[in-house]
Amino acid sequence: MAPATYLKRVQQALHELVNDYQLAFPVGFLILRILGPVDPLNVRYRGRSESRIRAALNHEARSRRITIDREQSPALLTVTSDGQKFYHAFGSEPVYEDGDVRLTRMTVQQLHHHAAAFKLVLEDIQQTFLEFYPNNTGAQDLNTLPDAVNTFLFLSPPPSPTLFVALAHAMLSQSPDCAPMDISVAAILKGFANSTMIEPETPVTLKITYSRRPAFLLESDEGKPLPAASVIMRYRHLRQQQRIIQSGIAPGEGSGSRATRGIIVATAESREPASVPAGQNDQSVPTAQNGSAPPSAIANVVPEAPAAALGAAPHSSDTVDGSTGSGGSHVKSSSILTASTRTIPPTRGHLGLDDSAHDRRETVMTSIGPLEITYTWRNLRSRGEKTRGEKTYWFASRATDVLDVPPTLALAKPGDLYIHTSNNGSKQAWLRATTPTWTSVELLHPHPFLRGYVLNFLKNGEPSWVTKDTVRTYMGRIEKRKREAKKG
The residue from 151, 174, 194 where one domain ends is 194
DSSP 345: P
Residue 66 included in any domain: yes
CA distance 31 to 54: 8
DSSP E strand stretches across 34-143: 66-69, 76-79
Do residues 21 and 170 both lie within one domain? Answer: no
Q: Are residues 418 and 483 in the same domain?
A: yes
Q: How far apart are CA 25 and CA 357, in angstroms?
A: 34
CATH code for position 72: 1.10.10
260: alpha, beta or left, given left = phi > 0 and alpha = psi -120 to 50? Answer: beta
- Sign of the alpha-carbon dihedral angle for 217, 202, 229, 377: positive
- The residues, any chain, with a CB within 8 Å of residue 138's CB and separated by 6 or more, are 144, 145, 147, 148, 151
* Residue 67 pLDDT: 93
Query: Which residue, among 415, 425, 419, has the nearest Cα to 465 in the 3D structure?
Result: 415
User: Does pTM top 0.95 for this prediction?
Assistant: no
Same domain, 182 and 325: no
Q: Do residue 369 and residue 403 come from a single domain?
A: yes
Nearest Cα to Cα of residue 161 among 186, 199, 121, 191: 191
DSSP run (H or E) holding 47: helix 46-62
Is 394 a domain residue? Answer: yes
Residue range 283-323, pLDDT digits in tens: 433 333 334 333 333 333 333 433 333 333 333 333 333 33
Closest CA to 361 of 403, 313, 320: 320
pLDDT at 79: 93
Q: Do 161 and 52 fall into the same domain?
A: no
Specify the pLDDT at position 143.
Answer: 72
Domain edge (last residue) among 177, 194, 211: 194
Would residue 12 count as lying in a domain? yes
* Closest to 440 (Cα-Cα) out of 410, 404, 488, 392: 404
Residues of the chain below pLDDT 50: 1, 176-199, 235-357, 382-388
In a domain, 41, yes or no: yes
pLDDT score, position 262: 45
pLDDT digits (tens, 9 = 90+) for 393-419: 888 888 888 888 888 887 788 888 988
Q: Within this chain, do residues 47 and 173 fall inside the same structural domain, yes or no?
A: no
The whole-angstrom separation of Cα 401 and Cα 424 is 9
Examine the domain organization and report whether 425 and 394 are in the same domain.
yes
Report how many domains make up the chain.
3
205 in a domain, yes or no? no
**Residue 125 and residue 79 share a domain:** no
Q: What is the pLDDT of residues 55-107, one digit of tens each?
A: 999 999 999 999 999 888 889 999 998 898 888 878 766 666 666 777 778 78
Q: What is the DSSP letter of 439?
A: E
Question: Domain range holding 119?
Answer: 101-194
User: Quick one: 121 and 31 in the same domain?
Assistant: no
Please indicate, yes or no, if residue 258 is contained in any of the structural domains: no
**What pLDDT, on the 0 to 100 scale, is given for residue 349?**
36
Task: Indicate the residue among 194, 216, 247 that finishes a domain.
Answer: 194
Let me know whether 58 and 110 are in one domain: no
- The reply to whether 10 falls in a domain is yes
Residues 63 and 141 grouped into a single domain: no
391, β-bridge pairs? 379
On whether both 52 and 132 belong to a single domain, the answer is no
Q: What is the pLDDT of residue 58?
A: 92
How many angstroms separate the CA atoms of 153 and 328, rounded? 56
Position 295 in a domain: no
